[in-house]
Amino acid sequence: MFEACCAEEPDDGANEYRRLLFQKRHTDPRDPAHEVDYMLFMCVNFLQLCKSARVFKNGARKEVLTAMKDLGFDRAVEFGEAGREALYQEIRNAAARYFKTCESSGYNRRLFGLMSSGEDNRKERMCRDAWQMSEGLAGRTGLQNEMKEWNRGVFDAFAATGGWAGDAFRDYCSRMS
């Protein structure tokens, strides 16, 4: 399906990069037949790295840079604005998939998973997750510039979850700084 989409659309100069991003995002190097989503994994992993970056800043920094390099983020500049936009779209798609899981009844459960939280608590946790996997991690590791596209994609995906989300994220950022 991906190849068909690339063939139907005029090449803006970044189709080669889109193929690379798709391959790196969805192929398990240890088992190519196993479908994965490494960028979705980055969302979850970055949440944990943000927490550990308070104590292990250099380790978290190294892990973020390695993950971004492994997924080809550094190659976007080779394809100019079209490459940057392709990277942004992949990031936004992965973050949107993460936030879609937040709609599940299993998200943000309390008391060892026995009780569900209210809607306000779910939104607050989603906002915290968005901040931790983007601005929070970038700030704690000093990678604001390197994570610029990542942060933009995460914010835009989060803001698209509802009319409340963009303002809630900006408010959360101001409280955390």
Taking residue 95's Cβ as centre, other Cβ atoms within 10 Å add up to 27
165-176 vs 148-159: helix crossing angle, rounded to 10: 130
Q: Which of 84-88, 109-113, 137-141, 150-154 has the lowest mean pLDDT?
A: 109-113
Which pLDDT value is given to residue 45? Answer: 95
- Provide the pLDDT confidence category of residue 105 given band limits of 50, 70 and 90: low
* pLDDT beyond 90 at 80: yes
What's the chain's average pLDDT?
88
**Of 24, 56, 54, 18, residue with least CA distance to 40:** 24
- Provide the pLDDT confidence category of residue 63 given band limits of 50, 70 and 90: very high
Q: What is the dihedral of CA 34, 161, 54, 65, to 10 degrees?
A: 50
Question: For residues 17-56, b (16+ Cβ closer than 10 Å) or e, as one string?
Answer: bbebbbebbbeeeeeeeeeeebbbebbebbbebbeebeee
Residue 9, both tokens: 């659309």
- Provide the pLDDT confidence category of residue 4 given band limits of 50, 70 and 90: low
Computed from CA positions of residues 7, 9, 15, 19, in that sequence, does the dihedral angle turn out positive or negative?
Answer: negative
- Provide the pLDDT confidence category of residue 103 given band limits of 50, 70 and 90: confident
Cα separation of 108 and 103, whole Å?
10
HSE of 25, CA atoms in CB hemisphere, 13 A? 22
- Provide the pLDDT confidence category of residue 123 given band limits of 50, 70 and 90: confident
Instruction: Determine the average pLDDT of the residues in 122-145.
Output: 94
Q: Which is more confidently placed, 155 or 118?
A: 155
Give the pLDDT confidence of 8-52 residue by residue, as tens digits. Answer: 667 788 899 999 999 999 988 788 888 899 999 999 999 999 999
Q: 3-state DSSP: the chain helix, strand, coil percent, rounded to 5?
A: 70, 0, 30
